Structure 1
Amino acid sequence: MEPFVINRLGRLVFPATVLAEVDFSVIDSLERLTEVVTRDCAATAPTGSDILARIEAHAYSGRYDLLRDIGQNLYWVNRYSMIMFEKRPTRWRDLPRSNRHVFLPSVTPWQEGARTVAAVADGYHRLPATWDSGTEDRIFGLLFDVFRNRRHHATVSSAIQPTVAQFLAAPDALTIVLPGHDPDYPTFGIDEILDCGEEVPELEALMRCAMVLHDQYPWDRSTAELRPVSRIGDDDFVVALHPRTREVAAFIDRVTRRRRPSFARRAVQRPAPGPALEPVRPYPPVRVGETFAVRPKLEALAIVRGEHVCDNADVIRNASYSWSPMTAGQIAATTGIERRRYTARDLADLALDAARAAVAHAGRIPQEIGAVLVSTCTSTQLIPSIACWLSGELGLRQTHAAFDLVASCAGLPYGLAEALRLLQEVDRPVVLVCAEKFSDKIGAVRTPRMIFGDGAAALVVAPAGPGEPGDVDVVQTYTSGPWTEVNSIRWPNPAFDNDITVCGPEVRSLVRRYLAQMFDELCTQPDPDAPGRSLLAGIDLIVPHQANRTIVESLAREAGFSVDRLYFNISEMGNVSAASIPIALFDAIRDGVLDRPMRVFAPGFGAGAVSGYAVLRVDPAIAAPEVIGSDVFPVVPGRARDDSVAASWPMPTTTDDMRIAFGE
């Protein structure tokens, strides 16, 4: 499934939020499936009895709230069938009796159905429209036709229904029977669902849900009856369930045959985590001028943003059926984010554009580069690493080192720390790229959808000239803590369909802990330029990791930082993890906040309970022209552009290439 598409209206659409797909390759038991379904449906969806009680208590203030409850209820009713099966009306005489992958729903009559349906019809028409009566009526028409013609109760439902043979062996079991069926019964195609457009974002999301739910019942619902096998005629139609994918069929086989799991699939019994113990002695910050002989100079900073803007209205237009109500304004108030950037390009391509632009702005040629580092936590390219791949794409025949490092939101301080160590060995420029692509790792999980974005930044860190003080005063890195904090942000997370997940309270805890530690260190460390004052007193600007403005400002106050010295671009970029600090530095220059050489404190903190900071001297002149598009080749003043680098890019690997490589 595509992580996002641009529909015919030019709007971003996230198919995962409405189509309710689950990756069955990461679900190993019915218990795990039940956990997933409970989280996505049962925990938030009202039952029919709940809706009836709310109507009778006059708990609905407008039509939207009732429509939303009906939609969530119907997703809950279909909680297993819509993620596992295709519903195919089939003539009883033509239904295979022994196919182990054809099932019949065994259902229980809905005892209070008539009363609840009547109450919903009356309640809806008595309520005032919330935004747009015409759109709300169309949504109601789709949802209510499904709701009123539901014959069965859904409080108890099994993930795996009986096979036809099992149903025949249970004469009292009831299933859905249709006296006839039109194979051309109108349904919505996937393009119609994705191209849906409404003025009110909440109604657009609900309309898509209504269209998907309509498609779950592709027959004349008013004719449906519940019957036992003895009352099904040869020419009657039953609703047969077929696994949607091979992965679903394989899952059913795994959990129904009760085969002993292979050794590779056996769960590892890990001991319970122990308490988090303090180190035997603190880790002091690295004072660069006193520690290293080769001082670092920041020669260039280049950035690449995701090409698609996803604003808060887009998030609400794509609200999942499992989300609790939230408005675009509430997202901004909670996170400080109004827009984030997504890209359809590969992460490596973003990194390459940023690296090329930085090398060009630094006035360097590829042959001068001594090492390439890439800081990212979202790369799916392991061999070659993005850093090694960049070395080849930049035309470097050899470097001293090229490797990726995973430090998530502390990617800049971790990357700088490694760059400083490499400078001592190579005494030549190091390219540090911080790049992230989250848009294809979010799925239908709301917190990451609100927060994360895509982008890349590249720095050229070179040896300072003789007698120059260098541009990095102090670096510090930390990691670890209580296991709850270490695991507070996870990707891939099998419990959430391998999408990224964020546990807010644990993240807040680790940020609070690290900011307090940073504040203590800055207060006790002397300023290299003025030993009589603290390092904190010499800070001109604070550019923190752009995690969540509301939380960072609150915790910064607790730690003793002056909020008016903080710079944020999170409202426009969201959280770009490792790339967030360098992109924010670039935007501080663009916005005129960093309008002269300034000393900047750049703290980062995030997944894995990693953290760190750098105290930098940033000259606005290091900012390269922003990269727009992808045709960015190193062009150095006074040197002709070398198109041989582009001409030598490798072509896609073929099977013939593989045969040659292995001597065939």
Structure 2
Amino acid sequence: MRRSVIAGVGAYLPERVMTNAEMATIVDTTDDWIVERTGIRCRHIAAEGEKTSDLAVHAATRALAAAGIEAAEVDLIVLATATPDWTFPATATTVQARLGVRKGAAFDVQAVCSGFIYALATADNFIKAGQSQCALVIGAETFSRILDWTDRGTCVLFGDGAGAIVLKAEQGQGGIADRGVHSTHLHADGRHHDLLWVDGGPSSTQTTGKLRMLGNQVFRHAVVNLAEVVTEALAANDLQPDAIDWIIPHQANRRILDGTARKLGIAPEKVVVTVDHHGNTSAASVPLALAEAIADGRVKRGDLLLLEAMGGGFTWGSALVRF
């Protein structure tokens, strides 16, 4: 059975770190207020002139090196971002050119914080259909560029960063013990547009706009939707929660992570948490968390991982992967 296997993972965070103490000099807030409500202590902020494509290229280069693969082998780039360099062309094509990839397709996916799961599902289906042999899947964001720095309900939450994985086509036996992507599950419900959105765009206002959010309502939807999509992945593979070695969630808010784990009856020590030092990096958060857990030795080859995320739209999804 043809399967998409993670051959390498890479991450990149901008050099500048903004602590909660610094945030308190910009907006009416305190370190205690932010930590109590979100679990966030600091986040990384892109330098002036540092674009989403710059972050993506760094992460992709590291993923290729970890996989021991040359850029010439890549025949597909799917880049998840809600903060592209330009309205067009796709930021993925900029990454393609800078990496020296000369074949196949390159395009962006926009599903906000669920973007990486959507991009992973897209690349996985390309590989399973025989249309790709080696894909780069990237989540990269510069959310600091669309924040209203006077709105403490949103500006304290987000940071910048990028994460990437290399997917390669391999043959397996078709069982849960096989390495690779076993299933992906995607959902959307556009009725909730006004709970989490950006108040601008080329077609509506001809401006970039700023991020707006009704946090309490997003929280309620997030816990329910994430628990359901994790349960869906388990049921599709005939598994119980204790079969999962690690849950790699979107790092939105520590309370959402804890609430989802409680709802599922999953031990909190099985949940990879990086929100405290990354903040919410939108489409970059899942691959960043995965990269950190691999680097520090928590995630090992053969581990069964459940990746999940929810974002504006609403969009949400999960992926079951044997690393």
The two structures share one fold, judged by TM-score above 0.5: yes
Please list the CA deviations of residues 238-290 of structure 1 after superposition, one character each: whole Å capped at 9, or x if unmatched.
xxxxxxxxxxxxxxxxxxxxxxxxxxxxxxxxxxxxxxxxxxxxxxxxxxxxx
Structure number with the bigger relative contact order (C-alpha 8 A, sep ≥ 6) is 2
- Aligned ranges 1:395-414 → 2 under 5 Å: 395-399=100-104, 401-414=105-118
Q: Residues 497 and 315 from structure 1, CA distance in 2 versus in 1: closer, same or farther, beyond 3 angstroms?
A: farther
Checking the alignment, whether the CA contact within 8 Å between 2:224 and 2:260 is kept in structure 1 is no
1:526/1:434 CA distance change after superposition, 3 Å: closer
**Corresponding residue number in structure 1 for 2:181:** 472
Q: Which amino acid aligns with 1:448?
A: T
**Match of residue 20 from structure 2:** 312
Secondary structure, aligned partner of 1:436: strand
Cross-structure match for 2:256: 551
Residue 341 in structure 1 maps to residue 50 in structure 2: no
Task: Give the corresponding residue for 1:298.
Answer: 6
The answer to whether the 8 A contact 1:445-1:499 is kept is no
Q: Deviations over 1:61-120 (max 9, x none)?
A: xxxxxxxxxxxxxxxxxxxxxxxxxxxxxxxxxxxxxxxxxxxxxxxxxxxxxxxxxxxx
Q: 1-side partners of 2:233 and 2:135: how far apart?
A: 27
Give 1:354 shift: 1.5
**Post-superposition offset of 1:380:** 4.0
Q: Could you tell me which residue of structure 2 aligns to residue 370 of structure 1?
A: 75
What letter matches 1:456 in structure 2?
Answer: A
Partner of 1:388: 93
Structure 1 runs not aligned, ≥5 long: 1-292, 528-533, 619-664
The aligned amino acid for 1:441 is: I
Determine the C-alpha separation between the residues in 1 that align with 2:237 and 2:125. Answer: 23
Contact between 1:515 and 1:556, CA under 8 Å: does it hold in 2? Answer: no
Tell me the distance in 2 between the aligned counterparts of 1:522 and 1:490: 27
Provide the secondary structure at the position in 2 that maps to 1:611.
strand
Q: What amino acid is aligned across from residue 478 of structure 1 in structure 2?
A: H
Q: State the AA in 2 paired with 1:460.
A: V
* 8 Å CA contact 2:85, 2:91 repeated in 1: no
Q: Which runs of 5+ in 2 are unaligned?
A: none
Shift of 1:366: 2.5
User: How many Å apart are 1:497 and its aligned residue?
Assistant: 9.1
Partners of 2:230 and 2:165 lie apart in 1 by 26
| Distance change (3 Å), C-alpha of 1:369 and 1:552 | same
Letter in 2 for 1:409: C
- Mapped partners of 1:521, 1:467: distance in 2: 23
Matching residue within 408, 417, 436 for 2:121: 417
Equivalent pair of 1:302/1:358 in contact (CA under 8 Å):
yes
Measure, in 2, the Cα distance between the counterparts of 1:450 and 1:328.
Answer: 10
Q: Which has the greater radius of gyration?
A: 1
2:142 matches 1:437: yes
* Structure-2 separation of matches of 1:524 and 1:384: 39
1:388 Cα offset (Å): 1.4
Structure 2: which amino acid aligns with 1:302?
G
Residue 467 of structure 1: how far off its partner (Å): 5.2
Segment of structure 1 superposing worse, 366-375 or 556-565: 556-565
In structure 2, give the amino acid aligned to 1:336.
G
SS at match of 1:473: strand
Q: Is the 8 A contact 1:510 1:609 kept in 2?
A: no
Shift of 1:512: 2.6
Query: What does 1:611-630 align with in structure 2 at a 5 Å threshold?
Result: 611-618=316-323
- Are 1:489 and 2:196 an aligned pair? yes
- Equivalents in 2 of 1:382, 1:446: separation in Å? 28
In structure 2, distance between residues paired with 1:317 and 1:590 = 34
8 A Cα contact 2:79 2:91, kept in partner: yes
Residue 18 of structure 2 aligns to a residue in which SS?
strand
Question: CA RMSD for the aligned pairs?
Answer: 2.1
How many angstroms does 1:557 deviate by?
Answer: 1.3
Q: 1:464 is matched by which residue type in structure 2?
A: E
- How far did residue 470 of structure 1 move? 3.4
Matched-pair contact (CA < 8 Å) for 2:75–2:101: no
Matched, 1:447 2:117: no
With normalisation by structure 1, the TM-score equals 0.45
Matches within 5 A, 1:35-50: none
CA gap of 1:364–1:523, structure 2 versus 1, over 3 A, is closer
How far has the Cα of 1:378 moved from its partner?
1.2
Q: TM-score, normalised by structure 2?
A: 0.89
Aligned partner (choices 557, 560, 563) of residue 265 of structure 2: 560
Quote the Cα distance in structure 1 between the aligned partners of 2:96 and 2:310: 28
CA distance in 2, matches of 1:466, 1:595: 19
Q: Distance in 1 between matches of 2:316 and 2:140?
A: 17
Identify if the C-alpha distance between structure 1 residues 520 and 303 changes in structure 2 by more than 3 Å, giving closer, same or farther.
closer
Q: In 1, are the aligned partners of 2:113 and 2:309 still within 8 Å (CA)?
A: yes
Instruction: Give the conservation status (yes or no) of the 8 Å contact 2:45–2:144.
Output: yes
Q: Residues 530-609 of structure 1: matches in 2 within 5 Å?
A: 534-609=239-314
Q: How does 1:488-507 map to 2 (within 5 A)?
A: 488-493=195-200, 498-507=209-218
Q: Does the C-alpha gap of structure 1 residues 535 and 415 become closer, same or farther in structure 2, counting only changes over 3 Å?
A: farther
CA distance in 1, matches of 2:17, 2:317: 29
- CA distance in structure 2 between the aligned counterparts of 1:314 and 1:545, rounded to whole angstroms: 25
The secondary structure found in structure 1 opposite 2:313 is: coil
